[in-house]
């Protein structure tokens, strides 16, 4: 369970999150909101990439202010642009990166890398330079690199925005079948509609928090 208690965040003078109270316990929660409404800021607070200026963020009871390292092991993060999250030149090396950071033994790293590559259909590309993968394959690699660490929660910040329809569906399928708890930020309303709960952000506040149909209707009405 992830809890936000009266969370405020500002960049310089500008307050971007203005008092967020949320308890996230569902397996699939989606967040929507216009550009600049504070979605990515909220996402970055969930795994301690950002710390709140006020209030607290708790992941299974752990405060992100306290043990950031433990929180990060629980919360994986998939960003919009795979090109900025793939850090090693080839597929297998990149997947191994996070495991190396955990200082796991070599044979365990190899075993887990192989397993996750098989799961995402990346095995035949194991030694491929990442830049020769398609956009969809790159995002699959980015997701694989996070899931190999076995986080309990995965935050997706617009994981399909840069993809074509076919790859968007592929990534949607991957997210649908995740055993983990997933928190999804997206402008893709078809994807958002699959969540159990949808939260609408507007100018740093939660303005709707409901079942998908109702929340999406609210959001669309605001946009219009």
Partner 1 sequence: MLGLYLHRDSPVHAFPVGWKLAALAVAATGLFFVASPVAIGAALAGTLLLFALARLPLGAILGQIRPLLPVLVLLFAVQAAFVGWETGAATAGRLALLVLLASLVTLTTRASDMIDALERGLGWLRPLGVNAGKVSLMLALTIRLIPVLLDLVQEIRMAQRARGVERSALALLVPLLVKTMRMADHLSDALEARGYDPR
Chain residues that interact with partner 1, rule: CB under 8 A:
44, 47, 49, 69, 72-73, 76-77, 79, 81, 83-90, 92-93, 96-98, 101-102, 127, 129-131, 145-146, 149
Is residue 186 a contact point for Mg ion (CB under 5 A)? Answer: no
Strands 2-11 and 54-59: antiparallel
Q: Which two tokens stand for residue 112?
A: 């887990």
Q: Which of 4, 16, 57, 174 binds ligand ATP (CB under 6 A)?
A: 16
Q: How far apart are CA 86 and CA 145, in angstroms?
A: 8
Is residue 197 a contact point for ligand ATP (CB under 6 A)? Answer: no
Considering the complex, state which of residue 94 and residue 157 has its C-beta at the smaller distance from Mg ion: 157
Q: How far apart are CA 199 and CA 43, in angstroms?
A: 13
Min separation Cβ 40 and ligand ATP, Å: 3
Given Mg ion, ligand ATP, partner 1, none, residue 150, with its beta carbon under 5 to 8 Å by kind, binds none
Considering the complex, state which of residue 102 and residue 217 has its C-beta at the smaller distance from partner 1: 102
Given partner 1, ligand ATP, Mg ion, none, residue 11, with its beta carbon under 5 to 8 Å by kind, binds ligand ATP
CA 18 to chain centre: 22
Min separation Cβ 86 and ligand ATP, Å: 20
Reference 45, options 153, 149, 181, 203; nearest CA is 153
Strands 28-33 and 181-185: parallel
Site string for ligand ATP, 24-63 (x = CB under 6 A): ---------x-xxxxxxx----------------------
Residue 23: exposure state from Cβ atoms within 10 A (0-12, 13-18, ≥19):
exposed
Q: Which two tokens stand for residue 219?
A: 């959001």
* Cβ-contact 33, 198 below 8 angstroms: no
Site string for Mg ion, 37-56 (x = CB under 5 A): ---x----------------
Q: How far apart are CA 75 and CA 58, in angstroms?
A: 11
Footprint of ligand ATP (CB under 6 A):
11, 16, 33, 35-41
């Amino acid at each position: 369970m992830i809890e936000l208690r009266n969370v405020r965040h500002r960049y310089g003078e500008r307050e971007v999150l203005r008092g967020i109270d949320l308890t996230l316990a569902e397996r699939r929660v989606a967040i929507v909101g216009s550009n600049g409404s504070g979605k990515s800021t909220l996402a970055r607070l969930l795994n301690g990439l950002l710390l709140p200026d006020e209030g607290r963020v708790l992941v299974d009871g752990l405060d992100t202010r306290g043990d950031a390292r433990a929180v990060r092991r629980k919360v994986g993060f998939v960003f919009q642009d795979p090109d900025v999250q793939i850090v090693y030149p080839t597929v297998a090396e990149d997947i191994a990166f996070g495991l190396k950071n955990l200082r796991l033994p070599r044979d365990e790293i190899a075993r887990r890398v192989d397993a996750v590559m098989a799961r995402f259909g990346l095995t035949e590309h194991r030694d491929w330079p990442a830049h020769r993968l398609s956009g969809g394959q790159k995002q699959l690699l980015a997701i694989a690199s996070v899931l190999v660490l076995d986080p309990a929660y995965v935050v997706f910040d617009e994981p399909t925005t840069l993809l074509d329809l076919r790859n968007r569906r592929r990534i949607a399928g991957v997210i649908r079948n995740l055993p983990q708890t997933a928190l999804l930020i997206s402008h893709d309303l078809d994807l958002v509609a699959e969540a159990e709960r949808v939260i609408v952000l507007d100018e740093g506040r939660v303005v709707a928090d409901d079942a998908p149909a109702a929340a999406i209707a609210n959001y669309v009405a605001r946009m219009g």
